Amino acid sequence: MLERLRRRRCRQVALVLQAYLDGEVDVATTRRVHDHLETCRRCGLEATTYRAIKDAIPMAASQGQHAASPVDPGALDRLRSFADDLLTGEQGESR
Amino acid sequence: MLDGVNPAVPSGDAAAEADARRHSAFAEYVQPEIEVLYRVAVTLTRNPADAEDLVQDTLVRAFRAADRFDGRHPRAWLLTILRRTHLNRVRKKTPSLLADGGDAARTLEELGPSLPSSEEVALSREFEPVVAQALADLPGDFRAVVDLVDLQGLSYAQAADTLGIPKGTVMSRLHRARRRIRERLMDVGLARGAEGM
């Protein structure tokens, strides 16, 4: 009985998992799916896989462009200075 | 957070140690990746000025988290923070386009912080080359939806308006595209199938 209920909840979560990961379901559903993913190992793994796919997409999409496109050296200099300022405490808490 | 305990503000020696770890990890793992971060940010934002702002926000988040970073796969860790920071920025800029005014996206952010788990970082790094090939092989109409939602961070409704198609079509193309990517990962043994789901 419990197993049947769990399976039904898994199927319900599978139906909305993608929309959940995209922040496209309502608050109540978000909480319900989140709670299920915390307790169901199989659905939790499923969510981790799709999150990793979503995270890999920008890296994968920009692969071919790295060699081709020159970047603005001024922007890189400013970002490196910004990072140096974070280390010396001149940035960070103000943002 | 635990009652009365703010882990972000340790005291005394612990604070000094965390601070030293943060500084050395930031210098070792983050600063060498600034150019890569900027290039990917240009891809995501398609605008050099927005890309610079996005990298600055990413550097701040990475700096704050650097003392807790385990040192594995720094580029994948940073690019994941970059992508999630980008999505948060896009959604804050266009709250009216979100389902229920952005409440769900905010709840999602509260429940799952924008810092990735080390498991997600390791997986996305492993997935990257296969995902690149799978993306290249997607039909054009699938790829367009992935570009708008997963790269540019648009909501389903916004992607539907941009492409002039129903929101349901955006959802079905996006979900089918991701399933195809997942199948490619399964083909090479990088992801498992979900039986009965």
Alpha-carbon distance B114 to nearest alpha carbon in chain A (angstroms): 11
Percent of chain A with pLDDT over 70: 86
Is B2 within the bounds of a domain? Answer: no
Q: Does B40 touch chain A (CB under 8 A)?
A: yes
List the CATH number of the domain containing B177.
Answer: 1.10.10.10
Same domain for B68 and B19: yes
Say whether residue B21 is in contact with chain A using an 8 A CB cutoff: no
CA distance, residue B78 to nearest chain A CA (Å): 11
Structural domains counted in chain B = 2
pLDDT tens digits for A64-87?
Answer: 554 456 778 899 999 999 999 999
Do residue B108 and residue B152 come from a single domain? no
Asked if residue B150 and residue B108 are part of one domain, the reply reads: no
Taking the alpha carbons at both ends of chain A, their separation in whole angstroms is 52
| Residues B176, B137 share a domain | yes
pLDDT of residue B166: 95
- Identify the pLDDT of residue B103: 61
Q: Is B185 in the A-facing interface, judged by CB distances under 8 Å? A: yes
Between A46 and B108, where is the model more confident?
Answer: A46
**Using CB atoms, which residue from B43, B87, B123 is nearest to A65?**
B43
pLDDT on residue B107: 61
B150 and B184 housed in the same domain: yes
Q: Report the pLDDT value the prediction gives residue B194, as an integer from 0 to 100.
A: 58
Residue of B nearest to A25 (CA): B104
If asked whether residues B139 and B197 sit together in one domain, one would say yes
| B63 and B121 belong to one structural domain | no
Could you tell me if residue B5 is inside a domain? no
Q: What is the pLDDT of residue B156?
A: 92
Chain A residue at shortest CA distance from B129: A60
Most distant CA pair in chain A, distance: 64
From first to last of the 197 residues of chain B, give the pLDDT tens digit.
344 445 555 567 888 888 899 999 999 999 999 998 898 888 778 788 999 999 999 999 999 999 999 888 888 888 889 888 888 887 777 654 444 545 666 666 655 546 777 777 888 888 888 999 999 999 999 998 998 898 878 889 888 888 889 999 999 999 999 999 999 999 988 877 654 44
Q: Give pLDDT, residue B98.
A: 46
Dihedral, CA atoms, A87, A88, A93, B1, nearest 10 degrees?
50
Same domain, B106 and B157: no
Where does a domain end: B94, B116, B138?
B116
Mean pLDDT of chain A: 85
The pLDDT value recorded for residue B5 is: 45
Asked whether the beta carbons of residue A58 and residue B123 sit closer than 8 angstroms, the reply is no
- Tell me B2's DSSP state: -
Q: Indicate whether B6 belongs to any domain.
A: no
Q: Is residue B111 located within the same domain as residue B169?
A: no
Question: What's the CATH code of the domain at B80?
Answer: 1.10.1740
Chain B interface disruption, residue of A8, A79, A87, most B CBs within 10 A: A79
Structure tokens of B134?
Answer: 């799978």
On whether residue B182 sits in a domain, the answer given is yes
| Segment (H or E) for B1 | none
B126 to chain A, closest Cα gap in Å = 9
pLDDT tens for residues B76-109?
888 889 888 888 887 777 654 444 545 666 666 6
Provide the pLDDT for residue B11. Answer: 63
Residues B111 and B86: their CA atoms lie apart, in Å, by 18
Q: Where does a domain end: B86, B116, B146?
A: B116
Terminal C-alpha separation, chain B: 34
Quick check: is B3 in a domain?
no
Mean pLDDT of A13-18: 94
| Residue of A24, A31, A86 lying closest to B155 (CB–CB) | A24
Domain boundary among B116, B146, B162: B116
In a domain, B105, yes or no: yes
Q: Are residues B99 and B21 in the same domain?
A: yes
**Domain span holding position B141:** 117-197
Interface subset of B 112-131, CB within 8 angstroms of A: 112, 116-117, 119-121, 123-125, 127-129, 131
B92 and B150 within one domain: no
B122 with B193, same domain: the answer is yes
